[in-house]
Amino acid sequence: MALCCEELDEHRDECEACAGDGRPIISGLENYAMVPLDLSTVPSQVNAMKALKESLKVPDRMGWNGDPCAPSSWDAWEGVTCHRSQDGKSLVITQLDLGSQGLKGHISDQISLLTNLVSVNLSSNSLSGTLPAGLGQRSLVKLDLSTNQFSGSIPDSLDSSKLQLVLLNNNELDGQVPDKLYTIGVHGGVIDLSGNKGLCGVPTLPPCPFFWSKGLSTGVKIAIGLACAVVLALIVLLIYILCIRRGKNDYDFGLPQDLISIAAKRNRYQRQKSLMLLEMESSEGYTPTLN
């Protein structure tokens, strides 16, 4: 907004000189304010979320594009909750709530980069594959992977977390349940392992075969399994040789033809010898001794 010289009481002489050429004294007002920049997500966690987007086959309708946490005033990534990091200089991902979203992929190993996760809910989807070892963040308190198609064993890394709620029911998991994980239910937490026919080794579940013993390493378990497979193959081969490949006369336990022929010849020889001795006895009048 231009101000005329007549509106200024002070410095009128300078004003009149300036106004002589038609130029205004003040052409406008400019205001300045210090506006803090919005924080961004830790780069490694951004990469982890992009990997999860691909592995979980997150649909486009959930808007997983750009920075998972920024701008903080707009929840662009559905199901993702963020908080400031401890140093206050960036944003970190603390919660994934993606239950019943029609996901059909698997959990990427990159989830290990989400080191600030407190809660993970991927229940009631069609996820498959094994549970990655990186899922056992120390910060993790709640884990719900129920009603999916996960297979394989439960990673021992879950022992190191602060889990108070573990729902792994209605999957296809197998193997021995980590002892420390099962004690969550003993110490006031909640754990549900039902609906997994292959799990074993803790109360309410069947005992594990000896090769699932916790004292055996993975290599030893594999060696035992291979040895059992070899023994089974040898047994099957022996049965095949003894039963299937026998000829139709293999079960005839009579005397061999050669032995029968030799016995017949011997009998004929003895008869002929006896006849000869009888003839000699009748013609010469003596009694020979038969051998």
First CA to last CA distance, the chain: 156
Whether cis (ω within 30° of 0) applies to the bond prior to 71 is yes
Rg over alpha carbons for the chain, rounded to the nearest Å, is: 46
pTM above 0.75, yes or no: no
Q: Which of 129, 78, 117, 124 is nearest to 99 (CA)?
A: 124
Query: In this structure, is the dihedral angle defined by the CA atoms of residues 44, 47, 48 and 49, taken in order, positive or negative?
Result: positive
- DSSP annotation string for 176-222: EPPHHHHTTTTTT-EEE-TT-TEEESSTTSPPPPGGG-TTS-HHHHH
Per-residue pLDDT of the chain (291 residues; tens, 9 = 90+): 444 444 445 555 555 555 555 555 555 555 555 545 678 999 999 999 999 999 999 998 898 998 999 887 777 799 999 999 999 899 999 999 999 999 999 999 999 999 999 999 999 999 999 999 888 888 999 999 999 999 999 998 887 768 999 999 999 999 889 888 888 877 788 999 999 988 998 888 888 876 555 545 566 667 778 888 899 999 988 887 777 665 555 555 555 566 567 777 777 778 877 788 777 777 765 555 545
C-beta of residue 113 within 8 angstroms of C-beta of residue 133: no
